[in-house]
């Protein structure tokens, strides 16, 4: 059974006197109307410039192109939210809200304080922010898991999946195919033969030497020379013989015959270049 407790609690709080008082105090502090902002372009525009830019006259703001961009987003937001949000539109609304509404530390901390006071989880910060500003929760996503490409603060893009208060292990298992598809899209498809390989450095050297025209006998001699050099390096480090042998096996694998060398070169080419 789906657990909607926190969604129900958020709506139930709107009938709570103490919660109403906290909402009223917040709106007064941030110059919001007692019933929240009306969903129209002028009301949102005036509040943004009054609170964020601390200007009564939007036409006086420096950087006119910035103002044009804000007006465009306000228009999109009013169009989207004014008709009510449906599944698939929630993230777009959050995206517009994050670019329009205040997101500074003081503003968000005030909202976090309300969350804490009324024992709401942190994941409901955006929903509560929406209610405090426009007096409506609108659609609250019923997804159990969301898969998305995210941009980290460093600017690097990554793949993530988001879980919710009522997400279960079964929900994740049920969408493993979607997760795998997203992995393939982001990282490139991974088949069994495309897994990272043991002895990669050894095999790379074998492939390079074969590309240069070296025969198996010559390659085997080079590998043996490298193995002997490495053994001496490890001995000079004061390691015991059993540890040295284990490290050599980890780096070079078994002693290779000529046929092994030819097979390794062909397998390397097929694995990384898809060619025989």
C-alpha dihedral sign at 35, 39, 40, 46: positive
User: 200-248 pLDDT, tens per residue?
Assistant: 888 899 999 999 999 999 999 999 999 999 999 999 999 899 999 998 9
Q: Length of the chain in residues, anyone?
A: 276
pLDDT at residue 18 in the model: 92
pLDDT at residue 44 in the model: 84
CB contact set of 178 (below 8 Å; sequence gap of 6+): 147
pLDDT at residue 146 in the model: 65
Instruction: Locate 238 and state its tokens.
Output: 């004061």
pTM listed for this prediction: 0.52
pLDDT at residue 98 in the model: 76
Domain boundaries, the chain: 5-138, 143-190, 200-273
The β-bridge partners of 151 are 157
What pLDDT tens digit does each residue of the chain (276 aa) get?
455 666 677 778 888 899 999 999 999 999 899 999 888 888 888 888 777 666 545 454 444 455 667 778 888 887 777 666 544 566 677 777 777 887 778 888 999 999 999 888 777 787 888 889 888 876 555 555 566 666 666 666 777 776 666 677 787 787 778 777 777 777 666 554 444 467 888 889 999 999 999 999 999 999 999 999 999 999 999 989 999 999 898 888 888 899 999 999 998 888 777 655
**Main-chain phi, psi angles of 160, to 5 degrees:** -145, 155
Residue 88: left (phi > 0), alpha (psi -120 to 50), or beta?
Answer: left
State the CB neighbour count (10 A cutoff) for residue 102. Answer: 17
Residue 182: left (phi > 0), alpha (psi -120 to 50), or beta?
Answer: alpha
The β-bridge partners of 163 are 145
């Amino acid at each position: 059974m789906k657990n909607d407790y926190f969604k129900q609690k958020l709506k139930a709080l709107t009938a709570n006197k103490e919660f109403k008082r906290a909402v009223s105090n917040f709106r007064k502090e941030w110059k919001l109307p007692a019933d929240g902002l009306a969903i129209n372009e002028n009301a949102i525009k005036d509040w943004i410039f009054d609170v964020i830019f601390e200007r009564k006259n939007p036409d006086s703001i420096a950087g006119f192109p910035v103002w044009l961009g804000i007006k465009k987003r306000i228009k999109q937001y009013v169009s989207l939210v004014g008709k009510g949000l449906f599944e698939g539109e929630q993230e777009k609304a959050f995206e517009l809200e994050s670019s329009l509404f205040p997101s500074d530390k003081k503003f968000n901390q005030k909202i976090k304080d309300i969350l804490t006071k009324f024992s709401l989880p942190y994941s409901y910060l955006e929903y509560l922010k929406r209610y405090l500003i426009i007096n409506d929760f609108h659609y609250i996503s019923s997804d159990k898991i969301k898969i998305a490409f995210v941009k980290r603060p460093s600017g690097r893009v990554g793949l993530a999946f988001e879980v919710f208060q009522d997400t279960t292990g079964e929900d994740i298992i049920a969408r493993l195919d979607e997760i795998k598809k997203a992995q393939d899209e982001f990282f490139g498809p991974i088949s069994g033969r495309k897994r990272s390989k043991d002895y990669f450095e050894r095999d790379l050297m074998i492939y390079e030497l074969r590309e240069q025209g070296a025969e198996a006998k010559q390659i085997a001699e080079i590998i043996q020379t490298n193995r002997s050099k490495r053994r001496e390096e490890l001995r000079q480090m004061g390691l015991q013989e059993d540890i040295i042998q284990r490290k050599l096996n980890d780096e070079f694998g078994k002693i290779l015959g000529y046929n092994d060398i030819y097979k390794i070169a062909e397998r390397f080419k097929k694995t990384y270049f898809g060619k025989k």
